[in-house]
Structure 1
Amino acid sequence: MICAILLIMPVMATYAGDKPLATVYSAQENGGYVFSVGNSTYSGTLHPGDRYPVSFTIDIPEDATVRYQRYYLYWAWGRKDQQAVYPAINATQCSGEKTLTGPAVRYVDNKGFSSASDFYSGMDAFSCRNLTPGKNTVTFEVANTGEGNSTFVVQGAGVLAVYESPASPPGQIEVREGCDMLYSSYGITPEMATSRMDFSQDIDMARLSKATLELVAPSGGYTRSDIIRKNAVGINHEQSGKLPPFITSVLSLVFPETRGKEWVDVFDSDQQQQIGIETRDVTPYLAARSNFATVQDRGDYLLLTNAILKVDYT
């Protein structure tokens, strides 16, 4: 049976950071998570009837219980001839089981101004049978079930499993999903092409052991032009256009707790491996409350789709 799609329609659709990621899971528990893109690569154009398979090998602790799991499909260029359309995508295999299932939720963005290439891009999140404790080797496969000449491309796929595990350290986790198309071009400044994430959970600083921020951005880090400082990721870092970048960097080194931290030229993808992933240890830069992260485009072009903040306590 084909499930109905919960389509997250754009309130605005531009290259600016106007589609903040939504919190889909937040908990304080002993546990952890696994995220993998498996052997996924760029698909090229998929026509009606074409399929796209990906294999994953995921290790879940033996004492774990999976609390949140999603398979993600990162797609772009949804069109029919030269008309922008939402692609018809269904999973034919999910968690290794044969099925015909639509995404549980779809996140979409586009550049938002009339041109010959203003096609939709997005991320579909599929809900399937949970992975089990131990080593899981599974296949995730989708098909273009559209009609006529409806086509799209797949940039890659991923799977996320958040688990509770008594043997794991205590801590907390916040998972965010969405699709925010960022590109500092066509009149969009870097300050405008910034997506901000405000994390709701307070941090017990006395028990803080380690904190990790993982971000997923299709196309992030991949550009045909050699742009210096083409993008940036910040944690509790207030953007300031009044000071030169060198001075701002020095102040961040001298006062890391008060000014947060910014990293530039982040993510890592290429023509075949198009899912940019960035993982940062943010332990020294967290505060007890009101923590936030930013992703800024400075000429790179990327889709911000996933963010995971994992905090471990002693």
Structure 2
Amino acid sequence: MNLKPVAILLNLLLLTFPASASYAGDKPLQTIIHDENHGGLDFSLGDSKYSGELAYNKSYMVNFSVNPPSGSSIKVAKAYVYWVWSKKDLEGIYPQFNASIISSGNIESLPEGHMYTDTKGFVSRYDYFSGMNAYDLSGKISKPGNYSISLMNTDKNGSTFCVQGIGLLLAYEDPKSPTIEYWINEGCDMLYADYGITPEVATMTTYFKGDINPDNITDAQLITVSPSGGYSSGREARNKLFFNEETSSLPVLGDIIQLLFGSGKSWENVYQTNDTVQVALDEKPVGDYLVPTENFVSIQDEGDYLLATNAILVLNLEEPESSEKRGI
């Protein structure tokens, strides 16, 4: 049997229906913020722990310690709520909850965040929704201190969900720090190489669009987040992270070609979670693998099930020489 037409047809279907839900990589993360300023960026999961099932009126909270450099100001603050198993009886539905931020004894309700969701996408039992809610906290977190993000299930009709954790992203401005350029990509893509889905299909690829000059970059960091990665199968982690590298190649020969001529990099089994901490946060130095345009990252499941939710690229730019240093 010639499998080539089948593969072509599958790729066309994935391109034609990008919003469909499935275990395939069909919901690439989108760039929400692309900016440049003197400063830095930090991502934390605080003291996140798996909530277990949250019924009506049950709450969940994660605590964060915010300590930006002295003299800096917080430019971007975003909270990410990672949730799974949202259901009513045996039906998958969207969760209903209120979110609040707590600081110095003050409680402030948060406006409705942006909800990203995915499901396995075929008719069966336990096709429950998973997703991530993103909240803009810019202006609500503006100084050092201890902050908490709290949730409460508000559905009186009896639906439940579980929270895997909450992430807090801070980008700050600091005139004493180097100039950084950063891309913040977010969304939710459920990936699982099973039920006829191959690892190549169970791959999410997202781009950091635009041109850069790798020669003018002193450092580059890639931050990715994967709820459930390395845990849900109950077996050893089986996932892969790619940066500026194609996710499929000819065995052995393809690896040799990539080693000799490729500029990208891949890492095996980078996402590790457990019963308590079910959100994997990974950071990689990628300065040696940058390309001048359309840098990209791919997250691939190889049989353990995971969600791809966040991908952040941070570049430290070389400062131009002052006229005094040039002897002008």
In structure 1, the partner of 2:148 is 139
> If you compute each CA radius of gyration, which structure gives the higher value, 1 or 2?
2
**In the alignment, which of 93, 96, 102 is matched to residue 85 of structure 1?**
93
Judging changes above 3 Å, is the alpha-carbon distance between structure 1 residues 248 and 222 closer, same or farther for their aligned structure 2 residues?
farther
In structure 2, the partner of 1:187 is 196
In structure 2, the partner of 1:57 is 65
Query: 1:1-314 residue pairs with structure 2 within 5 A?
Result: 11-94=19-102, 97-128=106-137, 129-133=139-143, 135-227=144-236, 230-244=238-252, 247-255=253-261, 258-314=262-318
Please say if residues 247 and 298 of structure 2, whose CA atoms lie closer than 8 Å, have aligned partners that are also in contact.
no
Judging changes above 3 Å, is the alpha-carbon distance between structure 1 residues 204 and 241 closer, same or farther for their aligned structure 2 residues?
closer
Partner deviation per Cα, 1:214-268 (whole Å, 9 max, x = no partner): 000101122444457x111111101234223xx544444444xx34111111112
The whole-number CA distance in structure 1 between the counterparts of 2:142 and 2:160 is 35
Q: Which consecutive residues of structure 2, in runs of 5 or more, have no partner in the other structure?
A: 1-17, 319-328
The size of the alignment, in residue pairs, is 299
SS at match of 2:210: coil
Instruction: Tell me the percent identity.
Output: 38
Judging changes above 3 Å, is the alpha-carbon distance between structure 1 residues 225 and 144 closer, same or farther for their aligned structure 2 residues?
closer
- More displaced, 97-106 or 209-218? 97-106
Partner deviation per Cα, 1:44-94 (whole Å, 9 max, x = no partner): 000010000111012112222222211111001111111111111111335
Judging changes above 3 Å, is the alpha-carbon distance between structure 1 residues 64 and 201 closer, same or farther for their aligned structure 2 residues?
farther
SS at match of 2:48: coil
Please say if residues 118 and 131 of structure 2, whose CA atoms lie closer than 8 Å, have aligned partners that are also in contact.
yes
The whole-number CA distance in structure 2 between the counterparts of 1:262 and 1:46 is 37
Judging changes above 3 Å, is the alpha-carbon distance between structure 1 residues 277 and 242 closer, same or farther for their aligned structure 2 residues?
same
The whole-number CA distance in structure 2 between the counterparts of 1:110 and 1:136 is 37
In structure 2, give the amino acid aligned to 1:195: M
Cα offset, 1:160, TM superposition: 0.7
In structure 2, give the amino acid aligned to 1:15: Y
- More displaced, 43-52 or 214-223? 214-223
The whole-number CA distance in structure 2 between the counterparts of 1:161 and 1:95 is 16
The whole-number CA distance in structure 2 between the counterparts of 1:158 and 1:144 is 19
Judging changes above 3 Å, is the alpha-carbon distance between structure 1 residues 56 and 186 closer, same or farther for their aligned structure 2 residues?
same
The whole-number CA distance in structure 2 between the counterparts of 1:130 and 1:62 is 18
SS at match of 1:222: coil
